[in-house]
A and B are shown apart, each in its own frame.
Chain A
C-alpha cells in the first residue's frame, strides 16, 4: 500500500515536535563552555553517575524481586484472598513516590518519627531504627512504590503461561524450584525486562523522592543547578549525560527483547495448577500483607489521619484554602484540566504515528514511532530546562501560561499514548478499513467512521495513562508553572517541603483519589482483573 503523504507529514511533524527538546538539550550540552565540562568532570559527574546507577540497580533489583514474588503469590499459589490482593498490590501506582516518601519519613525519621518515638515510649529509652535517608532509604521507598510495574507485567505473564510448559519440565524430572528458575522465569523474561526498563527510566527521572531523602542523582542535581547558580550550561551538561544514559537503557532493553521469542499456541491454553502453600500459607500471607501495608495501607491511613487533623484545625484549614488569591478548588481544577488536556493532545498526536507504524510498517515508520517514544528518556527536569530555553526564545506568548506545563506533560508522556494506540490498531483488522474504502468512503471518513470508533477503548486507555502520570508529575510542573497556577502535586510538595505535613495531607489525599479512578479503569482492562 502507498502511504498517503498527508499521514506521513502529520506523523513526521509529531516526531519532530517530540524530538526537538531532546536535540536541543544535546546541542546545548555539546556547546557548553569547555570549562564547565571540566569543572563538572572534576567535581560532580562521576559521583552523580555512581549514585544514579547504584540507585537504578538497587531499585530495579528490589522491584523485580518484590514484583515477581508478589505476582507468583497471587497467580500461582493458593494464597487466601488473592483477588483482593491483586487490587491492593497494583493500587500503589496511584501514589506518587514522593508522597510515599513524605509519609515514611514521618514514620521513620530518626528520633522524631512515629516509629522511633513509639519504641522509645515503649522501652523507656531510645531504640536504634534504620534511617530512611540516603541510599538505603531511597532504595526502600522507591522499591515499594515502583514494584507494581513489574507486578502487573509478571502477573500477566504468569497468567498467560501455558500449563504444559511446566508440566513438561516436571515430567522430565525437574523439581518445582528448578522448574521455576529454568522454565517459568525465563519465559517471563520479556515481561520482566519491560518492567525493569520502566522502573529504571523512572528512577532516572525521579526528583521528589531523592530530594526528600537527600540522595543526590542527576535529576536532583540538575534541579539544584536550575534553581541555584545563574547559568544554564552546567544544567545542560548534566541533562545531556542523563538523557544519554536513558537512551542507553532503552537501547539495551531493545537488544535484550530482540533475542528472545516465546510463542504459545493460544487455542488450548489452560491455567497452570496452583502451588499448595501448605504450612507456609500464614507466613506468605504476612509477607504479602507487609508489602501492601508499606506501599498502600500505611500511606493511605497516615494521610487520612492527617487530613482529618487538618480539617479539624480551623487555622490549618484557612491556610489550606488559599495561596495568594487562589483556593483549594483551583488546585484541583488546574490538576484536572492540565492533565486532561495533555491526555487529549497526546492521544490525538499519537493517532497518525500509530496509523503509520501499524498500517505501513517499514523502516521509516518504525523510526518515526521510535522517535515518538523518546519521551520516556527525557526526565521532567530536562524537559523543563529545554522548554524554558526554547519557548522563551521562539514562542514567548506561550511562556508564562499553563500551556507550557501541558506541553511538558505531552512531551514526557507521549510514549504511553503511542504504545496504547499502536496496540489498539494492531488488534483491528485492516479489512474493515478496506471495506469502508471499497464502499466509497474517503480515507478521512474511514478514519472517523470506522477506525477511531473501533479503537476508542484503546485510545481511552492511553489517555488515562497520560492523565494519571501527568497528575503525578512534579519537577517540570514546579519549574514551568506560571504564578498562580498551582496543581495538587505542587501544593503537596510546597507544603511538605516547608515542613507542614498535616497541611499537605488533604491535597495528597485528593491527588491519590483522583489518580485511583483512571487507574481502576486501566486495571479493569488487564487480564488478571477480569
Chain B
C-alpha cells in the first residue's frame, strides 16, 4: 500500500516536470485572475475572470452572457456547461479548493441541497425584493431566476384535437406506444419532475409511471432540443418537454401544439420548477460575480430570458413574450421544495431501480 507521502512525492515530481514544460501556458491561464479594483463600482472597472458552472444548456444561457459582456466588457466569462448533478458533484469535490464563482441550475432541488451543505455564500442581488419570497433561498443562499412548466408538445399533423392527452399519465396508454419522445435520466428537468412526482404521489406510483413510459417504448434523448426537433419533424407524435421548447420549435416553423397537463380535479396539476443561481463559497472573483447575479435578476436580464427563451421571469413587472400562456391560467402542482430537495437522492435511487435510460 502506498503511503500518502509516497504518493505526494511522486506526484510532485511530475508536477515539476509538467510545470517546467507547460509553465508559460499555465501562468497565462491562471494569473490573468482579477486584479480587484477597489475604487468605485463603475461597470468598466470590474474586470478579470468570471467562472460560471451552468446546468442550463449553453444556447439558452449564452444570450444573457452576451448582454452582460456588452455592459461589462472587461469581464472574461468562462462558462462550463453540463448537467446540474455533474456540476453539483464538481462543486462538492472542489469545496476546499473552489474553482467556480457562480452556479446556475435548471431546477431548485440541486441548488437547495447544495445550499444545505454549505457550498454557497449569501448574497442579496439588487432588486431581489421584487422576486417572490418562495423563490429565494433561506439566508439568501440562492436566487430564483425564471419559471418553466413541464408540458406536452405534439405534432398537429399527426395528432387530432380529440385524441390529445390531458395528463402525463395518459402517456403510458398503449395508443402512444413508440410515439413519444422525452429527455432521459441525466436531464435535470426530468430528474426534477421525478422528484416532484415522488413527493406528490409517492415512490410506487412514480415508479409505475416510469415503468409505463419504458414499457410504452418512449424514446429518451439526452436533451430536450432533440425531443422538440423530433416531434417537430414528425418522428414522434408527442414529447415531454419544458414549455419554452414548444415555442422554440414553433419559431422554427413546425406545426406543433402544446398541452399544459393535469388540470382536471383530482389530477396533480402543472409541474413547475425554477432556474436559479448562487454564489459559490470562496468565489475568487466576487465583484464580477455579484455584478453578474445582479444582472440576471435585473429587468434587463430577466427580459432576455422572457424574450429569447420564452421563460416566465420571476421579477415582477417583466412582461411575458407574446404567445406564452400566463401561469395564472393553470393550477400548479403543490410541491414542497425544501422537502423534495432533502429527498432528491431518492429520485436517483428510483431512476436506477427502474433502469430509466
On A, residues with C-beta under 8 Å from B are: 13, 16-17, 20, 23-24, 27, 43-44, 109-112, 211-212, 214, 216, 224, 226-230, 319, 322-326, 337, 341, 344-345, 348-349, 388, 390-392, 394-396, 398-403, 406-407, 478-479, 481-485, 494, 497-500
B residues 19-50 near A (Cβ < 8 Å) are 19, 21-22, 25-26, 29-30, 49
B230 CB contacts on chain A under 8 angstroms: 112
Identify the closest chain A residue to B83 (Cβ).
A227
| Given A324-B52, A326-B78, A406-B22, A398 and B348 contact (CB-CB distance below 8 Å) | no
B21 CB contacts on chain A under 8 angstroms: 341, 344-345, 348
Tell me, rounded to whole Å, the shortest Cβ–Cβ distance linking A67 to chain B.
Answer: 31
Q: Which of B2, B93, B220 is A214 in contact with, Cβ under 8 Å?
A: B220
Tell me, rounded to whole Å, the shortest Cβ–Cβ distance linking A348 to chain B.
Answer: 7
| Given A345-B21, A390-B11, A400-B99, A229 and B348 contact (CB-CB distance below 8 Å) | yes
| Given A17-B10, A388-B93, A392-B93, A325 and B69 contact (CB-CB distance below 8 Å) | yes
18 new A-B contacts at CB < 8 Å, known A17-B14, A43-B352, A325-B75: A16-B10, A20-B11, A23-B2, A110-B235, A227-B83, A227-B89, A325-B65, A341-B21, A348-B17, A403-B19, A406-B22, A479-B86, A482-B80, A482-B99, A483-B78, A497-B222, A498-B225, A499-B225
Is A345 a contact of B17 with CB atoms below 8 Å?
yes
| Given A319-B62, A401-B26, A484 and B80 contact (CB-CB distance below 8 Å) | yes
A325 CB contacts on chain B under 8 angstroms: 65, 69, 75-78
Is A403 a contact of B100 with CB atoms below 8 Å?
no
A498 CA / B83 CA spacing, docked (Å)? 11
Is B77 a contact of A396 with CB atoms below 8 Å?
no
Q: Which of B15, B51, B186 is A224 in contact with, Cβ under 8 Å?
A: B186
Q: Which of B8, B13, B99, B351 is A394 in contact with, Cβ under 8 Å?
A: B8
| Given A16-B10, A227-B89, A483 and B2 contact (CB-CB distance below 8 Å) | no
Is B220 a contact of A484 with CB atoms below 8 Å?
no
Is A226 a contact of B2 with CB atoms below 8 Å?
no
On B, residues with C-beta under 8 Å from A are: 1-2, 4, 7-8, 10-15, 17-19, 21-22, 25-26, 29-30, 49, 51-53, 57-59, 62, 65-66, 69, 75-83, 85-86, 88-89, 92-94, 96-97, 99-100, 184-186, 220-223, 225-226, 229-230, 233-236, 345, 348, 351-353, 357
B14 CB contacts on chain A under 8 angstroms: 17, 407
A400 CB contacts on chain B under 8 angstroms: 94, 97, 99
A482 CB contacts on chain B under 8 angstroms: 51, 78, 80, 99
Identify the closest chain B residue to A341 (Cβ).
B22
A228 CA / B90 CA spacing, docked (Å)? 11
Q: Which of B7, B59, B235 is A319 in contact with, Cβ under 8 Å?
A: B59
Is B52 a contact of A395 with CB atoms below 8 Å?
no
B357 CB contacts on chain A under 8 angstroms: 214, 216
Tell me, rounded to whole Å, the shortest Cβ–Cβ distance linking B110 to chain A.
Answer: 9
Tell me, rounded to whole Å, the shortest Cβ–Cβ distance linking B68 to chain A.
Answer: 10
A229 CA / B350 CA spacing, docked (Å)? 11
The 9 closest A-B pairs by CB, nearest first: A484-B78, A324-B79, A499-B225, A227-B86, A483-B80, A112-B235, A400-B99, A499-B226, A483-B78
Is A500 a contact of B345 with CB atoms below 8 Å?
no
B18 CB contacts on chain A under 8 angstroms: 345, 398, 403, 406-407
SS class, residues of chain B in contact with chain A: helix
B30 CB contacts on chain A under 8 angstroms: 401
Is A484 a contact of B79 with CB atoms below 8 Å?
yes
Is B10 a contact of A401 with CB atoms below 8 Å?
no
A484 CB contacts on chain B under 8 angstroms: 49, 51, 76, 78-80
| Given A228-B348, A323-B62, A500-B59, A403 and B22 contact (CB-CB distance below 8 Å) | yes
Is B223 a contact of A394 with CB atoms below 8 Å?
no
B93 CB contacts on chain A under 8 angstroms: 388, 392
Is A399 a contact of B89 with CB atoms below 8 Å?
no
Tell me, rounded to whole Å, the shortest Cβ–Cβ distance linking B87 to chain A.
Answer: 8
Is A112 a contact of B78 with CB atoms below 8 Å?
no
A341 CA / B26 CA spacing, docked (Å)? 12
Is B17 a contact of A227 with CB atoms below 8 Å?
no
A110 CB contacts on chain B under 8 angstroms: 235
What are 26 A-B pairs at a CB distance below 8 A?
Answer: A13-B10, A17-B13, A17-B14, A20-B7, A109-B235, A111-B236, A112-B233, A228-B351, A229-B348, A230-B85, A230-B88, A324-B65, A337-B22, A345-B17, A345-B18, A390-B7, A395-B12, A398-B18, A399-B94, A399-B97, A400-B97, A407-B14, A407-B18, A483-B52, A484-B78, A499-B225
A17 CB contacts on chain B under 8 angstroms: 10-11, 13-14
A114 CA / B68 CA spacing, docked (Å)? 40
A13 CA / B16 CA spacing, docked (Å)? 13
| Given A214-B220, A230-B345, A400-B94, A499 and B62 contact (CB-CB distance below 8 Å) | no
A478 CB contacts on chain B under 8 angstroms: 82
Q: Which of A27, A216, A226, A483 is B79 in contact with, Cβ under 8 Å?
A: A483
A226 CB contacts on chain B under 8 angstroms: 86, 89
B226 CB contacts on chain A under 8 angstroms: 499
For A43, A110, A499, the residue with the greatest tally of chain B CB atoms inside 10 Å of its CB is A499
A406 CB contacts on chain B under 8 angstroms: 18, 22
Is B186 a contact of A227 with CB atoms below 8 Å?
yes
A349 CA / B17 CA spacing, docked (Å)? 10
Identify the closest chain B residue to A404 (Cβ).
B18
Q: Which of A23, A44, A498 is B352 in contact with, Cβ under 8 Å?
A: A44
Identify the closest chain A residue to B234 (Cβ).
A111
B75 CB contacts on chain A under 8 angstroms: 325
Is A13 a contact of B13 with CB atoms below 8 Å?
yes
B234 CB contacts on chain A under 8 angstroms: 111-112
A109 CA / B181 CA spacing, docked (Å)? 13
For B52, B57, B352, the residue with the greatest tally of chain A CB atoms inside 10 Å of its CB is B352
| Given A44-B352, A344-B21, A400-B99, A499 and B13 contact (CB-CB distance below 8 Å) | no
Tell me, rounded to whole Å, the shortest Cβ–Cβ distance linking A417 to chain B.
Answer: 14
Tell me, rounded to whole Å, the shortest Cβ–Cβ distance linking B26 to chain A.
Answer: 6
B88 CB contacts on chain A under 8 angstroms: 230
A20 CA / B12 CA spacing, docked (Å)? 13
A111 CA / B178 CA spacing, docked (Å)? 11
